[in-house]
Structure 1
Amino acid sequence: MRETARANTTRKGVFRRALRPSLIAILLSSAMVSEPFLTQAIAQTFSFNSVTVEGNKRVDAKTILSYAGIARGQSLAAGQLNDAYQRIFASGLFETVDLVPQGGTLVIRVKELPTLNVVDFQGNKLVKDEKLTELVKSRSRLVYNPAQAEADAAQIAEVYRVQSRLAATVDPKIIRRSDDRVDLVFEITEGKVVENEGISFVGNRHFSDRRLKQVLQTKQAGFLRQLIKSDTFVPERLEVDKQMLRDFYLSRGYIDVQVVDATGQLSRERDATFVTYTVKEGQSWKIGRVNTVSEVEGVDAAEFAAVQKMRSGVTYSPSIIENNIARMENLALRKGLNFVRIEPRLVRNDRGQVLDVEYVIKRGDKVFVERIDIEGNTTTLDQVVRRQFRTVEGDPFNPREIRQAAERIRALGFFTDAKVDAKPGSSADGVVVNVDVEEQPTGSISFGASFGTASGLGLNLGFSETNFLGRGQSFAVNIGSASDTKSSGISFVEPALLGRDLKLKLGLSYDEANNANALYDTRKIAFSTGLEFPIAEQSRLELRYKAFQDTVKDVTSTSLLLLDEGDRGSEFGSGIGYIYTFDNRVTGLNPKSSLLFRFGQDYIGLGGDAKFFETTALAVAETKVFNEDVTLRAVFEGGAVKSFGGYDTRVTDRYFGNGKMRGFDTNGIGPRTADGDALGGNFYATVKLEAEFPLGLPEEYGITGGVFYDMGSVWGLDANPDGVDSGAHLRSAIGVSVLWTTPIGPLRFNFSNAIKKESYDEEQSFDLTIATKF
């Protein structure tokens, strides 16, 4: 039913509410109009020998009389008659109610509300009827209730408000039908999405608007506004933005920062907003003197001071204090000191703008964790949430540990929200930790496209689930195909093997290259497994095993080296190794700088044909300068393969420097045959120096610029029957980049120029990379 609703509106108060209690009816029916007489009439009382009900069809007369509460022969004042009327009308069953005295009889005349025949929606395109039907409480065959219709209209409007359609209107109307029935129609005007046309800041002197915009959840609308959803106006985001701004400043030493206000003003047309954040920055403070004292008898303060990592002169940050408290409290637990708390006391030195920090070791209250209650998880198992706590039932209660557990739960990525709080338990020395989570989808099916000037167009299909079967496990399957390559892989990760911080990794992969630009093809099949665990606060170690079968085939080259490698066919290898990782990007003391370092070694020779040692290293250092508007980055990467036992490496073992250096084509550097085929090398090393900076364009466009300088080399062969150049010749290139962060993936345009090269190297002056997921 989609006919236009007639003008019988059902808004609250539109129906005639015939408010005529008996006393008012008497006064109006008589010519008692003088003020003295009116006052006298209102003060009198009434008594009725009988009470009758008229007009009711569905509602029993006894029910109506029970609402009225008037007994036969009861003396009533005018106010009591009005109360009776209000009780009947408040039942929500009647369209009109009249109390009419007729001599000694009181007649209660009612008109019942109609029955709902059809509930329909008109004008909605973005939200389907099915969803709105589930949302409203007005239902067919129920009694029509104007108040409920208004509440349903407000609920529908809320759906559109969450989608930033603040101009949406919902008008409930009725169409009269026969047999005392009505159709209820919600006429919906969806309106336009209210976008943030402008985000501005007041009071920021140390950080630019562009830098502060990067902190916010709220974004400003750009020319891709149809795809970007974060640029719509959601009032609830403003409070989150205020907290994120405050945390940003606090982590940089601005202890007096105040985010005074965050307001969103609607345009006159109600189709756009302008958001303004007002901040009072204050000044950045540094750490002054650091001291540790003990108020617990028998506890050596010097022993606790030795584990804290804080020095004078560094910028103050709450995370620095929290990390040191955690170290000291962990030491107390290792020493069996329960209910010991570390209290930081900060003393301001306004003259030098430094904070003196004193860590006080003291006795805390003897409070235990009575139990941990978890609610809201329908898919995720309790154990996944519970293992984020370092505390179990019966342990001493530590508020800091509960806060950190809440952060770990949120970091899982399984929940849109996670609230963790502690409430009093059944006894004075117990607390109950309540965890209330709201789950979100964790699985995805992705279709991707990639393009490279050398590899051409490639397609990728993948499935991933980060919370497999609700156990917190990761499972992924990926299949890819390009013009001359095929690849597929399956991976599985158990993040908490045996309930401990022990990560189990399993992987299986298949890669085949039918090289259109080379006179040989390769195929690789590999299986790997590993165990990863922490060895320090910022360091982890992975022990791993891998087995593989590599094949070099279809060799048509004139190279004696490649022909020999092709004659060897498929070769099997297996071995063990380790990889050490240091990463301070999350727990580092300086929010403007970070360091990532990886070092790994593998011994391949546990049976099979392949026998070699492999060593790899990666170091990435990054810092932000000029009030964090410019990012400087240095990347070193290298690898070495050393064969033994009479084994010579093949193209499947060696490095090619693919993507390691800009300015050169895929397989563009390193030893090369007379036919032009890249042979790879046993060694490679690259250094990349780059800077990223704003181009003056609006931040919401996501376009920044960069400059880079890359240098490195690929070299070394075990056997060289062709006499090719396998020396360690330095290559280098400079260039500029345009980086564009889009809703469908990151794009990078590199314009390069090789300034140091060999005559047989293959250059690439322009490169575009796009990775897309739908």
Structure 2
Amino acid sequence: MTNGLSGDEPRRPARAGRVGVSLAAMAVALSTAFTALPEPAAAQNYTFNSVSIEGNQRIEPGTILSYAGIARGETVSAAELNDAYQRILASGLFESVEIVPQGGTLVIRVVEYPTINRIAFEGNQRLDDEALAAIVESQSRRVYSPSTAEADANSIAEAYVTEGRIAARVTPKLIRRSENRVDLVFEVFEGGVSEVERIGFVGNDAYSDRRLRRVLETKQAGLLRAIIRSDTFIEDRIQFDRQLLEDFYSSRGYVDFRITGVNAELSEERDGYFITFNVEEGQQFAFGDVTVESDLPEVDVAKFQDAIRLRSGRTYSPSHVETEIARLERLAVQEGLNFVRVDPRISRNERDLTLDVSFVLTRGERIFVERIDIEGNTTTLDRVVRRQFDTVEGDPFNPRAIRQAAERIRALGYFANANVEAREGSTPQQVIVDVDVEEQPTGAISFGGSYSTTSGFGAAISFSESNFLGRGQKLSLGVNTASSASSYNFNFIEPAFLGRDVEFGIALNYTETDNQYSEYDTGTGIFRPSFGFPISDNTRLTLRYTARYTDIRNASDGDAGQIIQYEEGLGERVDSELGYTLSYDTRRTGLNPNAGVLLEFGQDFGGLGGDTNYVRTNMRAVAQTLVLNEEVTLRAAVEAGALNYTSGVSRVTDRFLLSDSTFRGFEYGGIGPREYDGPSDVDDAVGGNFFAVARFEAEFPVGLPEEYGVTGGLFYDVGSVWGLSDDTVDQTSNSILYEDASLRHVVGFSVFWDSALGPLRLNFSQPLKKEDRDREQNFSLSISTEF
């Protein structure tokens, strides 16, 4: 506090001080009246010819009289005087009030509450003044209110509770100033963070505590507790965790699962919680008979039965039932059957633990969508939100379709909150869909460094915006420089081209390499517009055009071999390609929540106005599943590619050179055909026209607490790069090594770390079979990505 100023607790409405004096004076007056008059009832009545108001500075006398409600010459009782006193005090304008009858004059003495000069905060570090100022309702240049100050103190304390600081205390203090002004100071004691020391479960048999802890949003306190804040105890997060746990069991067929209680015990030091979930798992159910029924004459039941994807024996999940309902309702619309609703009826078979599901097609109410109202979007255009609806104004109202649209709006990532509700419209047969959203930041600028065992250290600058100009478009710019490579990229995506379910994208990329494994440099530029669209629930087709610029430089200045020097002599080259990729993905939409596959096949046809004619083919197949009560993750992947030229020749910038992300255990270009001449120190990886790689790995716990985010893995890779055209081989008198498809085998182990910098992966590998001139890489560090 400033010297010369005193700090006081905020005053409450005086009820025992000055008010007491007022009541005492009133009591004396009443007792005098009782003595003077023979009848007590008559002594309680007063008539005042005048009213004197004392002590008011800002409040007008008329305002005080209006609160008192006593008119001149009016006869009032003692009870009515007390009511007047209570009304003046309840106005919240005065610290104290006295009402004193003095003969024919009623004296009202008041002490006004001071005006707030300024509001300050002391002792706060975790939450800055700006954040706290947005919480309080007290304002400068307004009359001070003790009740408002107390409510503000409680609001500040609640803000700290949401930060996990349950011991936080906030005390409002007053510093008196001249002219009946005060400074309102909130003294904050923040306290320490109450961490979650331990999360346990009681009653779980099917899944271990470790597996269930991975489901929850709340985490146990770990080594990085200063950075990772999910280990802070927040009561609302516990409620969210209950729902996550219920969804987890429900999606795995435990239809009777329930949480009987959640105990949160505070440690003796009041700095940590021990949380225990008490659960009852019940039995796991599978789907039994899945049928379609309807008594509507226009419904072809057989056609709807054929559309069912669910089969008996699969683990039951409500999400699978919802998916089938949506599929059947779409089919009904396609068949011109409006207002047909699908009602799932489930029968339990306790003996064999199955659930029979009958989808009953019934006639729904004839209700139409009158309009869709969107509010709260200040940046995002209405059409971005509106296109998430399959329903438009005038369509039949389908509650399920509205719920699905609400989920799609939330999944956009543009809004902190999104509420979608339906209400009755202008008639009972119409509804209005209200969409209320709260926007959040969608752009990011990042500056940082990078390290790769392939390209070394580097600096990176990037900008990304997922809702560009509020149109739902994605825009990203990036510059990445490293010791052996630098790249510049631009990407733009329009997710709804011309209002259709077609994704339009433009990619621009330019890369320069100072190849640390060969004696030459390269420059590559790509311009690629593309269109992508779904052709079924899990299948997507992408069409693209690619203009590719390539250049080989400085090969003749070093020890590069004859092949590279020849290809440098061909000069700069521009290739023009048309291509496609067909993908089938069940990782998010399949019937098994623990497994999924991704299949991709793509081709690019060169020769559309370019320098050469060729076909480049790539394929990829990956699969993942969880085993051993979902403790162990098994992954498998197969990748292959082929490059066939019908005119022109391939160059090292066109052929396949594998990196450690494709085939672990070797440097970039460390396997495959090589031009070799020992006496002249020529040993160049020239790439191959074909490659094939198979990767197998298992990820599993290593015994460390899961809050550390560390797991282990074992992997086995096998593959090869091979094949050169005769035109390429003819360009050298040196030896061409490993042109055939000789397989390399690699084993190793991985350390996965879900760090504050991102999901890191450390690979330690050892080739089991390799060729003499292959270049090993026994350690690699990279960002771990989902398959």
TM-score range, shorter chain: over 0.9
CA distance in 2, matches of 1:443, 1:226: 26
Checking the alignment, whether the CA contact within 8 Å between 1:5 and 1:173 is kept in structure 2 is no
Tell me which residue corresponds to 2:199: 199
Question: Structure 2 CA distance, aligned partners of 1:245 and 1:259?
Answer: 9
Q: Which one-letter code corresponds to 1:216 in the other structure? A: L
Distance, in Å, in 2 between the alignment partners of 1:141 and 1:405 is 47
Over residues 24-57 of structure 1, what are the superposed CA-to-partner deviations in whole Å (9 max), with x where a residue is unaligned? 53435677999xx9x9679944443333212212
1:16 CA displacement:
5.8
Matched, 1:561 2:558: no
Q: Residues 329-351 of structure 1, C-alpha deviation per residue, up to 9 Å, x if partnerless?
A: 11111111100011110001111
Q: Structure 1 residues 495, 346: CA separation in 2 closer, same or farther (over 3 Å shift)?
A: same
Residue in 1 that maps onto 2:489: 489
User: Distance in 1 between the 2:463 and 2:4 partners?
Assistant: 47
Partner of 1:644: 646
* d(CA) in 1 for partners of 2:531, 2:139: 57
Secondary structure at the aligned position of 1:223 is classed as coil
SS in 1 for 2:675: coil
Q: Which residue of 2 aligns with 1:655?
A: 656
Q: Does 1:294 align with 2:306?
A: no
Q: Aligned partners of 1:277 and 1:296: how far apart in 2?
A: 47
TM-score between both structures, scaled by the size of structure 2? 0.94
Name whichever of 710-719 and 446-455 sits farther off: 446-455
> Which of 704, 708, 716 is the aligned partner of 2:723?
716
- Give the aligned partner of residue 229 of structure 1: 229
User: 1:193, CA displacement in angstroms?
Assistant: 2.3
Q: Residue 465 of structure 1 contacts residue 476 of structure 1 at CA under 8 Å; is this kept in 2?
A: yes
Q: Distance in 1 between matches of 2:342 and 2:21?
A: 71
- Name the structure 1 match of 2:126: 126
Aligned-residue offset at 1:189? 1.5
Cα distance in 2 for partners of 1:3, 1:363 equals 80
Q: Which moved more, 1:117-126 or 1:56-65?
A: 117-126
Question: Which of 663, 681, 691 is residue 684 of structure 1 equivalent to?
Answer: 691
Q: CA distance change for structure 1 residues 610 and 424 in 2, over 3 Å: closer, same or farther?
A: same
Moved more, 148-157 or 661-670: 148-157
Question: Letter of the aligned partner of 2:729 in structure 1?
Answer: N
Q: Choose which of 750, 753, 756 in structure 1 pairs with 2:766.
A: 753
- Native 8 Å contact 2:716 2:747 kept in 1: yes
Task: Say if 1:617 and 1:638, in contact at 8 Å, map to a contact too.
Answer: yes
CA distance in 1, matches of 2:712, 2:42: 84
Structure 1 residue 514, shift from structure 2 partner: 1.4
What is the deviation of 1:78?
Answer: 3.4
- The aligned amino acid for 1:578 is Y
2:244 corresponding residue in structure 1: 244
**Length, aligned pairs only:** 769
CA-to-aligned-CA distance 1:118-159 (integer Å, 9 cap, x gap): 322211223333443444333333222212222222232233
Mark the CA change 1:703 to 1:41 in structure 2 (over 3 Å): closer, same or farther: farther
1:733 matches 2:746: yes
1:743 to 2:760 alignment: no
Q: Measure, in 2, the Cα distance between the counterparts of 1:696 and 1:363.
A: 56
**Does the CA contact (< 8 Å) of 1:346 and 1:355 recur in 2?**
yes
- 1:417 CA drift (Å): 2.1
Q: CA deviation at 1:261?
A: 3.1
1:585 and 2:587 aligned:
yes
Q: Which runs of 5+ in 2 are unaligned?
A: 677-681
Unaligned stretches of 5+ residues in structure 1 = none
CA distance in 2, matches of 1:155, 1:649: 70
Match of 2:57, SS state, is coil
Give the 3 Å change call, closer, same or farther, for CA 185–552 of structure 1 in structure 2.
Answer: same
Deviation at 1:662, TM superposition (A): 1.3
In the TM superposition, 1:375-414 aligns within 5 A as: 375-414=375-414
- TM-score, normalising length: structure 1: 0.95
Separation in 2, partners of 1:518, 1:764: 16
Q: CA deviation at 1:232?
A: 1.7
| Cα RMSD (Å) | 2.4
| Deviations 1:172-218 (CA, angstroms, capped at 9, x unpaired) | 11122233222221111122222222222222221112211222222
CA distance, structure 1, for counterparts of residue 75 and residue 33 of structure 2: 25
Q: Quick check: 2:30–2:43 contact (8 Å CA) kept in 1?
A: no
Partner of 2:349: 349
Shift, 1:616, TM fit: 0.5
Structure 1's 402 and 43: CA in aligned 2 closer, same or farther, altered over 3 A? farther
Name the CA distance, whole Å, in 2 between partners of 1:687 and 1:226: 40
- For 1:383-403, what per-residue CA distance to the aligned partner results, in whole angstroms no more than 9, with x for missing partners? 111100000011001111111
> What are the residue-to-residue correspondences of 1:391-540 with 2, within 5 Å?
391-540=391-540
Please tell me the residue identity of whatever aligns with 2:617.
T
1:325-344 residue pairs with structure 2 within 5 A? Answer: 325-344=325-344
Q: 1 CA distance for matches of 2:392 and 2:427?
A: 17
Indicate how the Cα distance of structure 1 residues 86 and 401 shifts in structure 2: closer, same or farther if over 3 A, else same. Answer: same
| Residue 697 (structure 1) aligns with | 704
CA distance in 2, matches of 1:313, 1:655: 44
Distance 2:11 2:769 in 1: 79
CA distance in structure 2 between the partners assigned to 1:5 and 1:211 by the alignment: 59
Distance 2:42 2:736 in 1: 118
Pairing 1:617–2:630 present: no
Structure 1 residue 97, shift from structure 2 partner: 0.3
Give the 3 Å change call, closer, same or farther, for CA 6–166 of structure 1 in structure 2: farther
Contact 1:21 1:82 in 2 (8 A): no
Q: Is the Cα–Cα contact under 8 Å of residues 21 and 85 in structure 1 kept in the other structure?
A: no
* Conserved? CA contact 1:43–1:78, under 8 Å: no
Q: CA offsets per residue over residues 300-322 of structure 1, 9 Å max, x none?
A: 11111111101110011111111
Q: Distance in 1 between matches of 2:362 and 2:348?
A: 22
Instruction: Tell me the CA shift for residue 268 of structure 1.
Output: 3.8
Secondary structure of 1:306's aligned partner = helix
Q: Which moves more between the two structures, 170-179 or 404-413?
A: 170-179
- Which whole-Å deviations, capped at 9, do the CAs of 1:553-588 have from their partners, x for residues lacking one? 211345222121111011111010100111112211
The equivalent of 1:162 in structure 2 is 162
Output the CA distance in 2 between the equivalents of 1:399 and 1:707: 48
How far does the alpha carbon of each residue in 1:611-643 deviate from its partner, in whole angstroms, 9 at most, with x for none?
A: 210110111100001111110000111111111
The answer as to whether partners of 1:21 and 1:100 remain within 8 angstroms in 2 is: no
Say whether the 8 Å CA contact 1:22–1:78 is kept in structure 2.
no
Partner of 2:304: 304
